[in-house]
Amino acid sequence: QELQNGFSSNFLWGAAISAKQAEGSADRGLTVADIQDYNPNNHAKVKGDFTREEILERVEHPNQYIFPKKKGIDFYHQYRSDLELLKQMGLKAFRLSISWSRIYPNGDYTVPSEAGLSFYDKLFDTMQSLSITPIVTLYHDDMPVDLALKYNGFLDEQVCDWFVNYATTVLTRYQNRVKFWIPVNQINLTRVGLSALGIVRDQVTELDQKKFETVHHKFVMCARIKAIGRKINPEFKFGCMLADFLVNPETCKPEDVTLATEKNQMTMYFFADVQLRGEYPKYALRYLKDHQIDFTIQDGDLQLIRDNRLDFLAISYYNSNVVSADKNSMAIGDSELNPYLKANPWGWTINPLGLYDSFLKYWDRYHSPLMIAENGFGQIEELDENDTVHDDYRIDYLRQHLQALKNAVEKGVDVFAYCAWSPIDMVSSGTSEMKKRYGFIYNDLNDDGTGSGKRYPKDSFYWYQKVIASNGISI
């Protein structure tokens, strides 16, 4: 047997954005992302879930807040020049999300907006003319506000029906232009229930139970979308996407090791076991029972899930943490920093070996093709006197992670795409800051919305250009 050296010749070198962070809110309905305000006094704090009152307050008094995601980086108007710039970098794939509220402004059944549909027609046409392959997310944490307030988002199966209707509209419309679909971004990341699930926390009791129930609805929804999609175009590929939250034990104390194992089951593997293997694993059923989490699984749900397993595993990988039985619970994200690792100003550790390790584990368990849906390094940056940024720390970060990925590929892991987060600096998902910059391209915008919005390539732009041109030989 021949051994593979490096990446395959058709490897998709890409970068990723989301509609809620890039497009801006012109010509579409209001979403829960739009009202995640930037708060200068609370800048580094990850946004929690809003209560009903906090949502209404933001909707009714918008002038008292700074809403960076409403502005985005104006990708809606500048997509053409942005894509041309990314083509100069050599980009072969571009992961983007479609904005649900651009197609159906309130999310529910209405006539789809022709203006919204034709925006993505033009976007995909531009990508086709530049030979850039689209990888499309259908839901990237942008629930229409009304659906959250009236129904608690995907907790209500009516909302899931509307989402399937929206998905059917776009799968049909773009059937000849898009092959790779990710129905929902990071299905395991349910910490901020409002964005991920659409649940307004004080409108429900037993939030933990409701979260699992909503996740089940999302599983069924994804299976329905796959069933519909493969009738529309049998060539479609659908991905399960997880945020990599695999943890290691803080020490070799047996309790720490066991917590890491069980936590990895319930915060990571559970989701991919359902979506890729097509079954609810016994450990998950036991966990739900032991925690008195009880919800209805309709007749036929499990069969539908079994019959419509997804085709690939997409992973967003940024950092990795450790857990201690004395300090941490089973909740996703409740973990400790690894003392052996350095971190960025937001405390996100840098661990390329963690990526290597994770990919070996995913491959062993699923044997499904894998892709990196997001990987990147956020940093505070300013343009220098030559209108550029010498972001050698980002180059180091990406180089080490690509090397780790290459090592996994050479050990037999099937990886077909790598999407860096993000091609251009854009609004942070967690903190709504502009100053948390990830781009190969600097965007002259500030936290308070001031700035020209002009784009300037950083050193990493030219570095990634060489990586792509050499198909990953020159990392």
Binding site for ligand BG6 (CB under 6 A): 18, 21, 185-186, 243, 316, 374, 378, 421, 428-431, 436
In terms of DSSP bridges, do strands 248-249 and 237-243 run parallel, antiparallel, or are they unpaired?
Answer: unpaired
Q: Tell me which amino acid residue 125 is.
A: D
- Going by C-alpha positions, the residue among 140, 181, 134 that lies closest to residue 15 is 134
Element (H, E) at 16: strand 12-16
For ligand BG6, the closer of residues 308 and 379 by Cβ is 379
Residue 153 CB, shortest distance to ligand BG6, in Å, is 17
Closest of 22, 432, 433, 32 to residue 196, by C-alpha = 32
Report, in Å, the least distance between residue 346 CB and ligand BG6. Answer: 7
CB nearer ligand BG6, residue 78 or residue 379: 379
CB 373 → ligand BG6: shortest distance, Å?
8
Q: Which is nearer to ligand BG6, 62 or 430 (CB)?
A: 430
Rounded CA gap, 296 and 274, in Å? 16
The Cβ of residue 68 has, within 10 Å, a number of other Cβ atoms equal to: 27
Shortest distance (Å) from residue 63 CB to ligand BG6: 25
Nearest CB to ligand BG6, comparing residues 21 and 264: 21
In whole angstroms, the minimum distance from the beta carbon of 239 to ligand BG6 comes to 14
Instruction: Retrieve residue 413's tokens.
Output: 């892991």
8 Å CB contact between 458 and 389: yes
Contact 13, 157 (CB under 8 A): no
| Contact present, 70 and 34 (Cβ < 8 Å) | yes
Structure tokens at 334: 């409740």
- Choose between 151 and 440: whose C-beta lies nearer to ligand BG6: 440
Instruction: Enter the DSSP assignment of 4.
Output: P
List, as one string, the DSSP characters of 37-93. Answer: -B-GGGTTSPP-PPPHHHHHHHHH-GGGSB-HHHHTT-HHHHHHHHHHHHHHHT--E
Residue closer to ligand BG6, measured from CB, 295 or 393: 393
Instruction: Return the residue matching tokens 């100053």.
Output: 435
Min dist. Cβ of residue 431 to ligand BG6 (A): 6
Give min distance, CB of 422 to ligand BG6, in A. 7
A 10 A CB-CB count for 345 gives 11
Of all residues in the shown chain, the one whose CB is closest to ligand BG6 is 430
- Smallest distance, Å, CB 137 to ligand BG6? 9
Select 33 or 91, whichever has its Cβ closest to ligand BG6: 33
Residue 116 or 376 with smaller CB distance to ligand BG6: 376
